Amino acid sequence: MGAKRSIVYGYISILAVTFVAVASALAVAGPLVLEAPPFVTFSLAIVAFVAVLRPVMLVFRLHPSPILQLRDDVVNNAGWMASAAVVLVALPLLFDATTRIKQSIELIQPFYADPALIRLDHFLFFGHDPWQITHALLGERGTRIIDYVYAGWLLVQIVFTILLIFARDHVFKIHVTLSLQLAWLLMGAGLAVAMASVGPCFVDDFYAWDRFAPLMERLQSYEGLLATNAMEYLLSVQGQLAVGGGISAMPSLHVGIAVLILLVVNDYFPRFRAAGVAYVAIIYVGSIHLGWHYATDGLVSGIGMLAIWKMTGAWCRWLQTLDENRVNQADPARNGGR
């Protein structure tokens, strides 16, 4: 029996989203491969590692027929390997494409949304900037803990992506992959361009204001913060297609991906729900406390991520109805003999 229609169409939809992202990046930023794209390079390293790992294990275990075993592995896991290959190709290409779009915001329009976002935060927090509240509650030790957790977000996403690539449940893989793709494409690229903003840490540099000077002075007084080092790097490569480059505040992709992890945990691994909630809370507070984002950036990305999760879930459920209809057509008895 061939692969279920829902699975085939699900992986086609993953490739289609990647195509849209790459085409958009080409239209906005020109040729993508000015140098080896970092996410694609990383994925190739994973492929090389996996390709070598299994043969080495067989040899190490003194398997009597390692070549035949490798052949059987391929035959018995062909569907899983094909799905892993699709996701392994689609996600890195999309990550690199959306990063290029983010790095090209100033080619499309100037940063303009910060004043409105500042006023909105000021209104929502009763006449205060949100960072003033977090810094009144958290001292240097708390700041350093948040700094490490926030900086570790990239590692968390890499591990999350690798686990997703090698997951065996097709419905799970399609649902989560599409959600991750659309988070990067719609929020990390599309909304970032539409609501072009730099965030509190860069307001002084782009708008020549000193509103957040007290925040930056406090952060810089804590020597060796990973956040302030990263901010200096982003400023130094602004306008270039540099690894990890690109300045954008609204919305917070950090918070959006943290919310996605919570949604995955809530629906598929509920025993870890409390850890997921704690992680979202730390990333959200950290986005404000470290000066990267306005409070509204995380609120918008959290709501947006929830909407994306619901949308991709509905898409997966609709795809599954194709299989049900196919079964009903093949077995008239299921339809009352019609």
pLDDT tens digits for range 178-197: 999 999 999 999 999 999 99
Q: How confident is the model at residue 334 (pLDDT cuts 50, 70, 90)?
A: low
**What is the three-state SS of the chain?**
CCCCHHHHHHHHHHHHHHHHHHHHHHHHHCCCCCCCCHHHHHHHHHHHHHHHHHHHHHHHCCCCCHHHHHHHHHHHCHHHHHHHHHHHHHHHHHHHHHHHHHHCHHHHCCCCCHHHHHHHHHHHCCCCCHHHHHHHHCCHHHHHHHHHHHHCHHHHHHHHHHHHHCCCCHHHHHHHHHHHHHHHHHHHHHHHHHCCCCCHHHHHHHHCCCCCHHHHHHHHHCCCCHHHHHHHHHHHCCCCCCCCCCCCCCCCHHHHHHHHHHHHHHHHCHHHHHHHHHHHHHHHHHHHHCCCCCHHHHHHHHHHHHHHHHHHHHHHHHHHHHHHHHHHHHCHHHHCCC
| Structure-model confidence comparison of residues 180 and 89, the more confident one | 180
Which band of pLDDT confidence, cut at 50, 70 and 90, is reported for residue 40?
low
Say which residue, 29 or 199, is predicted with more confidence.
199
- The pLDDT-based confidence of 106 (bands split at 50, 70, 90) is confident
- Highest-confidence segment of 40-49, 120-129, 257-266: 257-266
Distance CA 40, CA 248 (A): 22
Share of the chain above pLDDT 70, in %: 82
pLDDT in tens, 142-176: 999 999 999 999 999 989 998 898 898 999 999 99
| 133, 56 contact by CB (below 8 A) | no
Residue 77 has pLDDT above 70, yes or no: no
Residues 113-144 pLDDT 10s = 999 999 999 898 878 899 999 999 999 999 99
- The answer to whether the pTM exceeds 0.95 is no
pLDDT at site 69: 66
* Mean pLDDT, range 258-280, rounded to an integer: 96
Mean pLDDT of the chain: 86
What pLDDT is stored for residue 38 in this prediction? 61
Q: Who wins on pLDDT, 216 or 76?
A: 216
pLDDT at residue number 34 = 46
Report for 78-87, 97-106, 272-281, 325-334: range of highest mean pLDDT: 272-281
pLDDT at position 66 over 90: no
Specify the pLDDT at position 338.
Answer: 44
| For range 8-37, the mean pLDDT | 81
The pair of structure tokens assigned to 267 is 């629906």
- Per-domain residue ranges of the chain: 5-335
The pLDDT value given to residue 55: 74
In this predicted structure, the answer to whether residue 241 has a pLDDT above a threshold of 80 is: no
Token pair recorded at residue 44:
């190739």
Q: Are 251 and 102 in contact (CB under 8 A)?
A: no
The pLDDT value given to residue 1 = 39
Over 80: is that where the pLDDT of 256 sits?
yes
pLDDT mean over 254-268: 96
* Least confident span in 35-39, 54-58, 88-92, 114-118: 35-39
With bands split at pLDDT 50, 70 and 90, how would you rate the model's confidence at 73? low
What per-residue confidence (pLDDT) applies to 244? 73
